[in-house]
Amino acid sequence: MRFSKLASNDVGWMSAADGENSCVISTRIRLARNLKKYPFPAVCDENTLRKIRREIFAACKEGNILKNAEMIKLEECDSVDRQLLLERHHISHEHAHSSDYGGLVLGDREMIGIMINEEDHLRIQYISGGLSLLEAWDIISKLDDELSKSLDFAYSDKWGYLTACPTNTGTGIRASCQLHLPALGMTGGIKGTMENINKMGMVVRGLYGEGTKVMGNMVQISNQVTLGITEERIIDNLKRLVTQVIDREKRARETVIQSESETLKDVVYRSWGLLTNAYKMSFEEALDLLSNIRFGIYSGIMKEINMGFLNNLMIKIQPAHLQESRGREMKPEKRDIVRADLIRDFLKGKI
- Residues of this chain that interact with a second copy (CB under 8 A) are 262-263, 265-266, 269-270, 272-280, 337, 340, 351
DSSP for 176-226, written as a single string: EEEEE-HHHHHHTTHHHHHHHHHHTTEEEE-TTSTT----TTEEEEEE---
State the distance between the two ends of the chain, measured CA to CA, in whole angstroms. Answer: 34
For residue 291, the minimal CB distance to a second copy (Å) is 17
* Nearest-angstrom CA–CA distance, 167 and 61: 30
Q: Would you say 7 or 301 has its CB closer to a second copy?
A: 301
For residue 335, the minimal CB distance to a second copy (Å) is 13
Q: Would you say 251 or 280 has its CB closer to a second copy?
A: 280
* Nearest-angstrom CA–CA distance, 332 and 339: 10
Q: Would you say 36 or 270 has its CB closer to a second copy?
A: 270
Q: Would you say 110 or 288 has its CB closer to a second copy?
A: 288
* Angle formed by the axes of helices 261-275 and 283-298, nearest 10°: 140
Indicate the DSSP class of residue 15: T
For residue 112, the minimal CB distance to a second copy (Å) is 40
For residue 59, the minimal CB distance to a second copy (Å) is 51
DSSP for 284-297, written as a single string: HHHHHHHHHHHHHH
For residue 309, the minimal CB distance to a second copy (Å) is 18
For residue 268, the minimal CB distance to a second copy (Å) is 9
Q: Would you say 112 or 338 has its CB closer to a second copy?
A: 338
Calculate the alpha carbon distances from 134 to 137, 253, 319 in Å: 5, 26, 32
- The distance between the two most distant Cα atoms of the chain, rounded to a whole number of Å, is 64
Q: Would you say 181 or 301 has its CB closer to a second copy?
A: 301
Q: Would you say 228 or 332 has its CB closer to a second copy?
A: 332
For residue 336, the minimal CB distance to a second copy (Å) is 9
* Nearest-angstrom CA–CA distance, 336 and 17: 27
Collapse the DSSP code of 98 into the 3-class scheme (helix H, G, I; strand E, B; otherwise coil) and give the result: coil
For residue 219, the minimal CB distance to a second copy (Å) is 28
63-91 core/surface letters (b: 16 or more CB in 10 A; e: else):
bebbeebebbebeebeebbbbbbbbbbbb
Q: Would you say 210 or 266 has its CB closer to a second copy?
A: 266
